[in-house]
């Protein structure tokens, strides 16, 4: 490219440093930041992984779901109760003394008394057999816990995906705003050149008006860009939890994706947490149906009771009562109004519903993978096309400006060429953002967008630790140390 003198050419050259920053390193979107104080995309994702309220709320929900397992196991654990009584009572006893020798009527005498009854009762019971109700309830609880963990992974993926999009949106909008600010500088120079040429009679007043109109439109576009970046910053703050400061370039995660679409679909059907959650819900529904059927089975239990009371027999002071009993109880349900049969049918219908939902989830995941891969390929193609367009638009602008000096082109031609170059550069910025975001969306659809796969510098949250702490816990109201 020839180096021609001229004010307008100097302004075009001034744009090259920024363009180099935008196009740095393949699929990279960047703007000038001091590297020592910059934040990377991975560090932003780590911040969201630790502090995002939606993700933390879901973790608490999983911990609450964990408690269903020990609740289910309580069905075959012993139950014990202790009851103590103490008090005072007064009364009178009417006692037959005999018959009168004269009248033959019965004679009574009244004995008033006051006593202080007291005592204690200890009762223990143990279910020996409950028709498999407890076992089914426990297996249902475990499947529900696994489903909750899968939904947690789904939330983790959604948070990381949204965080990546918020990060890239700030980068994109910052770059676009700088492009538009630079465009205003170029158009201001173009207006000065056009006004100077008007003063010497080289152009008409129409050319000046066209330059003024283009400058006004550029300023309006800048105001819109400033408003857009405020929106993106607010979304960044909401998702990641802090204000964006000096963001570094970001790259796509295509290296973590299966190369072929068919492979990606197969991996997604096996590993996507949405599918996993649906399959665990099918398991839970199967156990719920078995639990409902268990009410038709006989149950066997044993209970023991020890009673020790004083001054409680008719209020007689000094009386004492002690009793101990061991009782076995067999309960065989015959008919209880038909409600139990309705519950069984309902549980079986819900099982069918969950199976259909699993099919729906598989179809949804398959469509999501195909769509995300298509969006990624489209974004990459747009980036390649945008770069070619930018090179051609820059060459065209230089040529149009040179021809305008000799009168072969009008001011409007120059302004249109300048706008075409700006549009090409904005399209490149948008395409770079789309490539990165689409790669994260594709990785999420496959089921591999996790803090572990991204190698984030954070302690990985493991829900299994809390579950193992409370699974066989018999008593205690304090939450485990690890949460």
Per-residue pLDDT tens digits for 194-212: 898 888 888 889 888 998 9
Lowest-pLDDT choice from 148-152, 312-316, 421-425 = 312-316
Tell me the C-alpha to C-alpha distance, in Å, between residue 81 and each of 95, 122, 129.
Answer: 39, 6, 21
pLDDT number for residue 109: 63
Pick the more confident residue, 406 or 82: 82
- SS3 for 78? coil
Percent of the chain with pLDDT over 70: 86
Q: Which of the pair, 36 or 322, is modelled with greater confidence?
A: 322
pLDDT at 17 over 50: no
**106-115/89-99 β-pairing:** antiparallel
pLDDT score at 481: 66
pLDDT at 258: 94
* In contact, 219 and 183? CB cutoff 8 Å: no
Report the distance separating Cα 168 and Cα 248, nearest Å.
10
The residue count of the chain comes to 483
Rg (CA), the chain: 40
Q: Of the ranges 43-57, 78-92, 103-117, which one carries the lowest mean pLDDT score? A: 103-117
What pLDDT was estimated at residue 33? 42
- Which residue ranges form the domains of the chain, and what is each CATH number? 7-66+132-297+339-470 (1.20.1600.10), 79-129+298-332 (no CATH)
Looking at residue 384, its pLDDT comes to 95
pLDDT-derived band at 115, boundaries 50, 70, 90: confident
Band the pLDDT of 28: cuts 50, 70, 90.
very low
Element containing residue 451 per DSSP (H, E):
none
Q: What confidence category does residue 1 fall into, taking pLDDT thresholds of 50, 70 and 90?
A: very low
Cα–Cα distance measured from residue 416 to residue 421, given in angstroms and rounded to the nearest whole number:
9
What pLDDT digit, counting tens, does each position of 135-145 carry? Answer: 999 999 999 99
Helix (H, G, I), strand (E, B) or coil at 37: helix
Question: In the prediction, which pLDDT does 474 show?
Answer: 84
Give per-residue pLDDT as tens, 158-193: 999 999 999 999 999 999 999 999 999 999 988 998
pLDDT at 483 exceeding the cut of 70: no
What pLDDT, on the 0 to 100 scale, is given for residue 98?
67
Q: What is the pTM of this model?
A: 0.82
Which residues are CB-neighbours of 187 under 8 A, at least 6 positions away? Answer: 211, 214, 215, 218, 415, 418
Angle, CA of 11, 13 and 18, to the nearest 5°: 100
Half-sphere exposure of 108 (CA within 13 A, CB side): 7
């Amino acid at each position: 490219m020839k180096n021609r003198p001229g004010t307008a050419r100097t302004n075009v050259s001034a744009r090259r440093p920024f363009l180099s920053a935008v196009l740095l390193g393949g699929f990279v979107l960047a703007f000038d930041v001091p590297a020592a104080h910059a934040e990377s995309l991975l560090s932003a994702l780590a911040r969201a992984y630790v502090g995002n309220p939606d993700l933390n709320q879901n973790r608490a929900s999983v911990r609450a779901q964990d408690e269903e397992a020990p609740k289910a196991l309580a069905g075959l654990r012993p139950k014990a109760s202790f009851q103590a009584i103490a008090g005072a009572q007064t009364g009178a006893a009417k006692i037959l003394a005999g018959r009168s020798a004269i009248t033959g009527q019965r004679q009574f005498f009244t004995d008033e008394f006051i006593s202080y009854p007291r005592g204690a009762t200890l009762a223990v019971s143990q279910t020996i057999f409950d028709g498999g109700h407890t076992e089914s309830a426990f297996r249902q609880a475990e499947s529900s816990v696994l489903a909750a963990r899968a939904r947690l992974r789904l939330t983790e993926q959604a948070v990381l995906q949204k965080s990546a999009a918020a990060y890239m949106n700030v980068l994109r909008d910052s770059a676009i705003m700088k492009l538009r600010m630079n465009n205003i500088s170029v158009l201001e120079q173009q207006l000065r050149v056009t006004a100077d040429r008007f003063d010497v009679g080289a152009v008409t007043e129409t050319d000046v008006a066209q330059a003024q109109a283009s400058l006004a439109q550029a300023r309006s576009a800048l105001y819109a860009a400033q408003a857009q970046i405020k929106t993106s910053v607010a979304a960044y703050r909401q998702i990641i939890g802090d204000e964006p400061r000096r963001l570094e370039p970001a790259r796509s995660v295509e290296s973590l994706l299966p190369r072929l679409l068919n492979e990606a679909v197969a991996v997604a059907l096996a590993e996507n947490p949405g599918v996993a959650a649906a399959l665990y819900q099918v398991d839970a529904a199967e156990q719920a149906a078995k639990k409902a059927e268990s009410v038709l089975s006989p149950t066997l239990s044993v209970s023991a009771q020890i009673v020790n009371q004083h001054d409680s027999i008719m209020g007689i002071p000094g009386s004492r009562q002690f009793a101990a009993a061991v009782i076995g109880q067999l309960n065989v349900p015959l008919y209880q109004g038909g409600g139990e049969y309705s519950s069984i049918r309902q549980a079986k219908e819900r099982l069918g519903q969950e199976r259909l939902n699993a099919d729906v989830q598989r179809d949804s995941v398959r469509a999501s993978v195909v769509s995300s891969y298509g969006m990624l390929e489209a974004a990459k193609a747009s980036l390649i096309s945008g770069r070619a367009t930018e090179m051609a638009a820059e060459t065209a602008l230089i040529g149009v400006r040179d021809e305008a000096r000799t009168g072969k082109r009008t001011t409007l031609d120059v302004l249109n060429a300048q706008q075409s170059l700006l549009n090409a550069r904005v399209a490149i910025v948008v395409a770079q953002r789309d490539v990165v975001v689409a790669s994260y969306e594709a990785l999420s659809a496959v089921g591999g967008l996790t803090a572990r796969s991204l190698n984030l510098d954070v302690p990985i949250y493991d829900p299994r630790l809390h579950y193992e702490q409370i699974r066989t816990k018999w008593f205690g109201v304090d939450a485990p140390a690890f949460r």
